[in-house]
Chain A
Amino acid sequence: MTRIPTPAAGLAGTASATAAATTARADHSDPFDSGMWDFHRAEHLGDPTDWRFDPDVRLISPGEADDARHLPLMLDATRVEGVERIVVTADYSPFPWVMTFTPGRAVARLGFGMKIDQGTAVRVSALGTDGTWRIGGAFIRAAGGGCGVPAKAHERPDWQSTLGQTRARLWPDGRLRLRITHPMDTGLADGAPQFFLTEIAVADLDGAPFADLEIGVPLEEDPSLALDLPPEMARAGVRVTARDNMGLVIDHLVPGAA
């Protein structure tokens, strides 16, 4: 059992160059053949003309959601050189936009969990510094309903007492794990209006931004994240900030990896 390895820079470069040389024209035939993709590309990627499906953008998934409230995923665009931002969307969902990840100086890979409302393609769209959108994803089979069930938090009358609690740890190889207690209410469950984290950011100890996530209601309750930073940064420590749509601000220093 291991972390997903980062390809060596040289190898990644070779693979991309080969792909570029052999792809005369972008392939636009949708591997998931689903009807919403054209709309979502327009709505969430800004209707780009320069885009293509690319196996170098990967979404590691279980293929099936055993718990529609917590579908564990890991997106990986480390085979693409120069990733500016990564947009995660679900084709069939009341909330198609899941998040936008700006890796900054972090590795273009992110472990996260999301809710899933029905069987759907989940897309990972990576915008390169070359201006090209490269699209990957996976089809997830699901019984669904993940967006409409009340958050587990509300089973406890004192759930607000742990709201915003943050657990985090850095490892010497650069791994950052982070979990923030938050119900991430979608607004679809009775009696619980939308209440969710809107942003999680990682900065170095001087406050210079490092990586950033804009997030929407489909992210799982108590979001649990795995990021990979440069090892020297993980040894120094990082600052994690987050905010929600009701004005809660979370601000923590994560001590450097021992």
Chain B
Amino acid sequence: MKKDIPKLTRRAALAGAVALPAMARAASRHDFLQPVADGAWIHVGDTETFSRNNGGDIANVAVFATDAGALIVDAGSSAAFSERLRAEVERRFGGLAATVLTHHHPDHTFGTQALADRPIMAQPATAARAEANLADYADLLYREVGLPMRGTEPALPNQSVAGGPLTIGGRRFELVPLGGHTEADLAVLDVATGTLVAGDLLFLDRAPTVPDANLGRWHKSLDHLASLDVAATIPGHGPLDRQGDALRQTRDYLDWLVARLADAADRGLGMIEAMREDPPAPWADLGANPGEYRRSVVQIYAGFETEALPLLR
């Protein structure tokens, strides 16, 4: 997939103007945090699924500099990651102001441990789902990731947010409550730079995940994101996007997935028949595929069967 450095649009260049000199000196794709715009940073996780190799570091994290310290959006998967992230913001941004969680999945919420002395904000449904799934997620991560998970005991959200404006240390954000990837997804827009943190409503070069999806609602959320005035998008997984690729790709992939599974169910295929043929290009090349596609079939095929098989009376 695309690995080149994204082209800067004029608007994005303006938004990032202040940071650019620093970028020229220090930016490296291997840096823990890479610059997005003035005071906006991204940590890019691996685009595969949980593994020993990536230590569970598969989700993106956004960091914004404010006068009160850093605002972090999403927290990674492990205690080790959490400590690294905390040390980084202490060293570079004068401490931690608060953390916002976009949704309840563990690759975004299990790294809250070292952030728990400050507010951890989330929608009420996100907090509820995080708590209800804590043990199952811990089982999953300890099994798939193993040793790098050592000592991970995530903190639950401690401050409820709804939506609307949020000002932290003089920096203004707009919280956009949406849903569809999960019961409650929260997008965060940094007003000054037009940087959108989309959480897992958007994926780029990584197959979207659907274990808790409501695909119709997800579509409406994509429409809403498309209506926002955005200079740069931080997808939940995959590289920084200044072109709108994440929105297009996520929508196209979900449309393809729905069409494929609806067609399979309508032709009478059993689940394993729908699963055994891998996705075609370009979807075959997405990070985590074909595994993510196969998981998706297990997770959502029953719904397509319900549509295809009449209820007998």
Chain A residues packing against B (C-beta within 8 Å): 1-4, 60-62, 66-67, 70, 72-74, 111-113, 143, 165-169, 171, 175, 177-179, 222, 224-226, 240, 252-254
Contacts and interface: CB of A to CB of B under 8 A. Distances in A.
Contacts of B302: 179, 222, 224
A16 B70 CA distance: 70
Contacts of A165: 311
B268 A143 contact: no
A166 B312 contact: yes
Contact of A60 (B269, B272, B311): B272
Interface in B223-281: 260, 263-264, 267-277
Contacts of A252: 312
A2 B295 CA distance: 19
B88 interface: no
B311 A166 contact: yes
Interface residues of B, number: 30
A66 B295 contact: yes
Given A61-B272, A70-B271, A72-B270, 11 more contacts: A62-B298, A66-B294, A66-B295, A70-B298, A72-B298, A74-B273, A168-B310, A169-B309, A177-B308, A226-B269, A226-B270
Contact of A1 (B260, B306, B308, B309): B260
B273 A167 contact: no
Contacts of B309: 167-169, 177-179
25 contacts: A1-B274, A1-B277, A3-B268, A3-B273, A4-B273, A60-B272, A62-B276, A67-B299, A72-B270, A72-B297, A111-B270, A111-B271, A111-B272, A113-B271, A165-B311, A167-B305, A168-B309, A169-B309, A177-B268, A177-B308, A222-B302, A224-B305, A225-B270, A226-B270, A252-B312
B280 to A, nearest CB: 10
A143 to B, nearest CB: 6
A179 B305 contact: yes
Say whether chain A's binding surface is mostly helix, strand, loop, or mixed: strand
A224 B264 CA distance: 14
Contacts of B272: 60-62, 72-74, 111
Nearest 3 Cβ contacts at the A-B interface: A111-B270, A226-B270, A167-B309
B268 A171 contact: yes
A164 B309 CA distance: 15
Nearest to A73: B272
Contacts of A171: 267-268
Contact of B273 (A61, A226, A253): A226
Contacts of A254: 312
B270 A169 contact: no
B99 to A, nearest CB: 30
Given A1-B264, A62-B294, A177-B305, A224 B270 contact: yes
Nearest to B274: A1
Contacts of B84: none
B172 interface: no
A97 B269 CA distance: 25
Contacts of B311: 165-167
B136 to A, nearest CB: 10
A143 B139 contact: yes
A168 B312 CA distance: 7
